[in-house]
């Protein structure tokens, strides 16, 4: 009886709901998806970041910054996840450059996916570089798949209530 109550509580847990929902949108080699507040970043990819308790199974990390979930659409949050998935793809299947550098191969994969790499996050920005953003290609693969996912009822289940920028200012 107690076990059934615990399973029910676990199933309805905000943590389980949040990570299960994000995991539904993910489809590459296993990695640990985390929520991390890194000021000035929507997300990041870190290769070989964690090891299992058995010290045998090493895994990568994709971190999403929940500070941006409240003031960005689900489509924008998912585009950050996919941006980081492109970094993971390149680590496993492509040829990476120096750490943190987004090269032409990565830019080509982003375009194939339907995200346009841009150093400014807008049209006209550099497509390669150390710190990169992107914008969503109208009518591209990502936009179409994302629209279908959102139509099916997908939503980011939890968003942060307080404003990260205001919190940073109040610390000064």
Provide the whole-model pTM.
Answer: 0.82
Closest CA to 146 of 88, 77, 95: 77
Residues 6+ apart with CB under 8 A from 103: 95, 96, 97, 128
- 8 pLDDT above the threshold of 90: no
In what order do the strands lie in the sheet containing 43-51?
A: 31-35, 58-64, 43-51
pLDDT digits (tens, 9 = 90+) for 12-31: 788 888 778 777 777 677 88
d(CA 17, CA 152): 16
E strand map for the chain: 31-35, 43-51, 58-64, 115-118, 133-136
pLDDT digits (tens, 9 = 90+) for 30-47: 889 899 988 888 999 999
Closest CA to 21 of 133, 159, 162: 159
Contact 23, 33 (CB under 8 A): yes
Contact 96, 171 (CB under 8 A): no
pLDDT band at residue 71 under the 50/70/90 scheme: confident
Can you tell me which residue has the tokens 């000064």? 172
Average pLDDT, the chain: 87
d(CA 68, CA 72): 6
């Amino acid at each position: 009886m107690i076990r059934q109550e615990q399973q029910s509580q676990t199933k309805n847990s905000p943590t389980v709901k949040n990570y299960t929902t994000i995991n539904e949108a993910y489809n590459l080699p296993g990695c640990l998806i985390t929520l991390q507040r890194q000021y000035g970043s929507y997300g990041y990819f870190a290769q070989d970041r964690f090891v299992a308790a058995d010290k045998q199974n090493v895994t990568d990390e994709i971190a999403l910054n929940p500070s941006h979930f409240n003031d960005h659409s689900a489509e924008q949050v998912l585009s950050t996840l996919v941006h980081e998935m492109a970094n993971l793809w390149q680590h496993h299947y492509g040829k990476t450059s120096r750490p943190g550098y987004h090269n032409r191969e990565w830019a080509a994969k982003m375009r194939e996916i339907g995200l346009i790499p841009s150093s400014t996050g807008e049209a006209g920005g550099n497509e390669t570089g150390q710190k990169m953003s992107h914008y969503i290609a109208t009518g591209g693969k990502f936009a179409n798949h994302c629209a279908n996912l959102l139509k099916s009822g997908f939503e980011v289940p939890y968003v942060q209530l307080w404003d990260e920028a205001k919190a940073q200012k109040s610390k000064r």
